Amino acid sequence: MDFTIIIEQDEDGIYLAKVPDIQGCYTQGKTVQEVLERIKEAIETCAEA
């Protein structure tokens, strides 16, 4: 399955990622690479629930 992921950077430089199609599916990381890895894990977790 393919999902749209929105990545934003907050005022402290932390990257925030969320999946609009899955309620409550979001994460954060210090780098874009880190937040992408974490959002993949979050999607898997949310899909199992």
Residue 1 covered by a domain? no
Residue 15 covered by a domain? yes
User: In the structure, how many helices (H) and strands (E) does the chain have?
Assistant: 1, 3
pLDDT of residue 48: 86
Per the structure, the count of domains in the chain is: 1
Closest CA to 32 of 10, 12, 16, 46: 16
Q: How far is CA 3 from the centre of its chain?
A: 11
Residue 38 covered by a domain? yes
Residue 22 covered by a domain? yes
pLDDT of residue 26: 96
pTM exceeds 0.75, yes or no: yes
State the residue range of the domain holding 41.
Answer: 6-48
Residue 11 covered by a domain? yes
Each residue's pLDDT expressed in tens, for the chain with a length of 49 residues: 899 999 999 999 999 999 999 999 999 999 999 999 999 999 999 988 7
Residue 10 covered by a domain? yes
Kindly report the CATH number assigned to the domain that includes residue 41. 3.30.160.250
